Amino acid sequence: MYRTHTCGELRLTDAGKTVTLSGWVQRVRKMGGMTFIDLRDRYGITQLVFNQETDAALCDRANKMGREFVLQATGTVGERFSKNDKMPTGDIEITVTELRVLNEALTPPFTIEEHTDGGDDLRMKYRYLDLRREPVRRNLELRHKFCLETRRYLDSEGFLEIETPVLVGSTPEGARDFIVPSRMNPGSFYALPQSPQTLKQLLMVAGMDKYFQIVKCFRDEDLRADRQPEFTQIDCEMSFVEQDDIIRVFEGLTKHLFRTVRGTDLGDTPFLRLSWEECMRRFGSDKPDMRFGMEFVELADVLKGTGDFGVFNSAAYIGGICVPGCASYTRKQLDELTAFVRSPQIGAKGLVYARVADDGTVKSSVDKFYSPETLAALKEKMQATAGDLILIMSGDEANRTRKQLCELRLLMGGRLGLRDKNKFALLWVVDFPMFEWSDEQQRLMAMHHPFTAPKPEDVPLLDTDPASVKANAYDMVCNGVEVGGGSIRIHDAVLQAKIFDILGFTPEQAQAQFGFLMNAFKYGAPPHGGLAYGLDRFVSLFAGLDSIRDVIAFPKNNAGRDVMLDAPAPVAQAQLDELQIALAPAEPQQP
């Protein structure tokens, strides 16, 4: 028997017991005639003690144990002389009588501590050592609990967990596919699912009624802190439902997860619902952070054509936010804000500001163009009071400017400490547009995905003004992060064909790529709809983390590489030959 207890288990009530523990050496300390070893496993740390006077040979051996050696120690539980109230086992220690080295260890390349000295790359290369660190391990425990409670809740609601294949055909969700060559079908490729979208719809045609799956999805797109090439969804689909039915079930799941996994009671009131249009108008985002106000105020009626400021006079949109308590910002601080909105990521032309002084007067960067009355009207419209800083942006395309102003709002919210990670503001964003125009592709694209149903009352507009059609689609947003999204689906082959047509597919292309789905719809497809949560994102929100990497056991870096496995990597010529794949000659290197 390797152990009788774990390293996190023993308490003062166990005093006097003979126990055996196994684990890793966290640290070895020599103090006077005593040697202490902190022994660690997944469950905690227990102090082992060796006494030079009572057993010199054993104590000498203990002194030679290096960090991360794997040990088995047998001894007696005793009360500690100097207790440590920071650890659950801090009242006891084990006076060791037998010590066995189960495995030696090289000195780890970084410290295995709560705060390590290891940089990101090093930690990822030795991720198995990084995972020994308590904060990283805690994230995986949280993720486990999250999955478990998801299964528990959805099972209680009658959902079946059904696996779908990973080697499939293309499942368009707006990203590039990862493709896998088929040896048995030379020249043909599988695509890894961007999501099980079409498969879960087929499960509805199959009468499964309520499906879910905790499932890997693969999207070949540029990576950011909250994106990985493979990520996990809680994917769900239901039959004979409308939007309200889905919202009810998944609001229930969300509240259940908050309560059971995080101990946060979100109360009985339903989540707020806002239309996409209202979100854009008030917050410049389809995933507004509702932990704080600073809502947009449209200012064209006050500032357009009322002074000599050409920028505003020719703008299609002028909007402002009122930042409390920041009227004292220095010129330098304001220049920094201007540089921020002008940065390439945001791309705005500039920023206008107005300060409300203690006596209530307004001083702005465009004073010379406007009368004091107009500035007073600005203050009035913004409902600004003494000490407020008004920040104004304008542009010739309303939604583009709103998105830029949104970045500024988020920055200022963060600076004022209003984006507290322990506070949660959830809402549903509904009534998304069905399509969005792509400049790059010069065509309408599905805003959610091509299987999303239009609002029934908008169906006639598909022929006359498709760009104005609204979709039966919804997103769940938490603290400015889209945690989930879904839609009511099209279940009619004719309507589906029409959407493919609007999206620029010829009937032949649509048939070749989605014939299986349109065909299935001819065999009695029930009305259905669903949604998917981004599991990694949701768990990282629970953990208060900015990056989803920290909740994934073996994540990839920003270049999509697994630096531990050194993947992706070239393969042997023989493997390529078998697949009948020839690589293009490498591009000549630039000198």
User: Under the rule (CB under 6 A), what is the footprint of ligand ASP?
Assistant: 173, 195, 197, 485-487, 530-532
Of 99 and 429, which has the nearer Cβ to ligand ASP? 429
Q: List all residues 6 or more positions away from 150 whose beta carbon is below 8 Å from its beta carbon.
A: 212, 214, 234, 253, 257
Query: E-strand spans in 17-130?
Result: 18-31, 34-41, 44-51, 70-79, 92-103
Of 262 and 489, which has the nearer Cβ to ligand ASP? 489
Of 58 and 234, which has the nearer Cβ to ligand ASP? 234
Of 389 and 483, which has the nearer Cβ to ligand ASP? 483
Q: Return the H-helix or E-strand segment holding 184.
A: none
Both tokens of 138, joined, read 């805690």
Of 395 and 486, which has the nearer Cβ to ligand ASP? 486
∠337-338-341 over CA atoms, to 5°? 90
On whether the CB atoms of residues 66 and 105 are closer than 8 A, the answer is yes
Of 356 and 535, which has the nearer Cβ to ligand ASP? 535
On whether the CB atoms of residues 70 and 105 are closer than 8 A, the answer is yes
What are residue 72's DSSP bridge partners? 22, 100
How far apart are CB 532 and ligand ASP at their closest, in Å?
4
A 10 A CB-CB count for 18 gives 11
On whether the CB atoms of residues 352 and 295 are closer than 8 A, the answer is no
Longest dimension (CA), the chain: 94
Alpha-carbon gap, residue 553 to 131, rounded angstroms: 8
How far apart are CB 237 and ligand ASP at their closest, in Å?
7
How far apart are CB 197 and ligand ASP at their closest, in Å?
4
Of 337 and 531, which has the nearer Cβ to ligand ASP? 531
How far apart are CB 557 and ligand ASP at their closest, in Å?
23
Query: If 0-12 CB within 10 Å is exposed, 13-18 middle and 19+ buried, where does residue 412 land?
Result: buried
How far apart are CB 343 and ligand ASP at their closest, in Å?
29
One-letter amino acid for residue 4 of the chain: T
One-letter amino acid for residue 509 of the chain: Q
CA separation, residue 315 to residues 299, 302, 312, 394, 488 (Å): 11, 13, 5, 6, 38
Place of tokens 């990283």: 136
Of 203 and 362, which has the nearer Cβ to ligand ASP? 203
Alpha-carbon gap, residue 433 to 502, rounded angstroms: 14
Of 159 and 369, which has the nearer Cβ to ligand ASP? 159
Q: Positive or negative CA dihedral for 337, 338, 343, 347?
A: positive
How far apart are CB 484 and ligand ASP at their closest, in Å?
8
How far apart are CB 503 and ligand ASP at their closest, in Å?
16
How far apart are CB 139 and ligand ASP at their closest, in Å?
23
Of 89 and 195, which has the nearer Cβ to ligand ASP? 195
How far apart are CB 164 and ligand ASP at their closest, in Å?
12
On whether the CB atoms of residues 582 and 576 are closer than 8 A, the answer is yes
Of 172 and 395, which has the nearer Cβ to ligand ASP? 172
Alpha-carbon gap, residue 524 to 554, rounded angstroms: 43
Query: E-strand spans in 396-491?
Result: 426-430, 435-438, 443-446, 473-478, 481-488
Chain position whose Cβ is nearest to ligand ASP: 195
Alpha-carbon gap, residue 307 to 304, rounded angstroms: 7
How far apart are CB 554 and ligand ASP at their closest, in Å?
22
How far apart are CB 204 and ligand ASP at their closest, in Å?
11
Of 320 and 485, which has the nearer Cβ to ligand ASP? 485
Of 401 and 487, which has the nearer Cβ to ligand ASP? 487
How far apart are CB 173 and ligand ASP at their closest, in Å?
5
Of 47 and 171, which has the nearer Cβ to ligand ASP? 171
Nearest Cα residue to 187 out of 580, 583, 575, 513: 580
* Phi, psi dihedrals of residue 471, rounded to the nearest 5°: -105, 155
Alpha-carbon gap, residue 547 to 542, rounded angstroms: 12
Q: Return the H-helix or E-strand segment holding 253.
A: helix 243-262
How far apart are CB 451 and ligand ASP at their closest, in Å?
8
* Phi, psi dihedrals of residue 538, rounded to the nearest 5°: -65, -45
Displacement of CA 240 from its chain's centroid (Å): 30
How far apart are CB 511 and ligand ASP at their closest, in Å?
22
On whether the CB atoms of residues 221 and 175 are closer than 8 A, the answer is yes
Both tokens of 160, joined, read 């079946």
The conformational region for residue 174 under phi > 0 = left, psi -120 to 50 = alpha, else beta, is: left
Both tokens of 572, joined, read 């042997």
Of 337 and 429, which has the nearer Cβ to ligand ASP? 429
How far apart are CB 487 and ligand ASP at their closest, in Å?
5
On whether the CB atoms of residues 30 and 76 are closer than 8 A, the answer is no
